[in-house]
Amino acid sequence: MLLRGVLILLVVGLVVWMLSARARASKRPRSVPQPEAFVRCAHCGVHLPRDDAVIDGASAYCSEAHRLAGPREPGGS
């Protein structure tokens, strides 16, 4: 009799714990890296995190040197 009550409590507690753990996991999308955080250097075309990029208006560059060099036209020699 007592064992059955403990078992039911255990199962109910497990279900509640699983539901709360799942709710907590779905509320945390922060660990997933965002693809929008990457930009492409307008000069050499290398991809780098936006935080590391040198932003000049609408263009992004990998370094200050490439920002000064300016955007390179694709296909131009």
Among 39, 53, 60, 62, binds Zn ion (CB under 5 A): 62
Question: DSSP 3-state assignment of 60?
Answer: strand
Question: DSSP 3-state assignment of 41?
Answer: strand
Residue of 16, 49, 18 whose CA lies nearest to 33: 49
What is the smallest separation between the CB atom of 53 and Zn ion, expressed in angstroms?
9
Nearer to Zn ion, 5 or 75 (CB): 75
Residue with tokens 């890296």: 33
Nearer to Zn ion, 10 or 37 (CB): 37
Residues from 31 through 50 that contact Zn ion (CB under 5 A): 41, 43-44
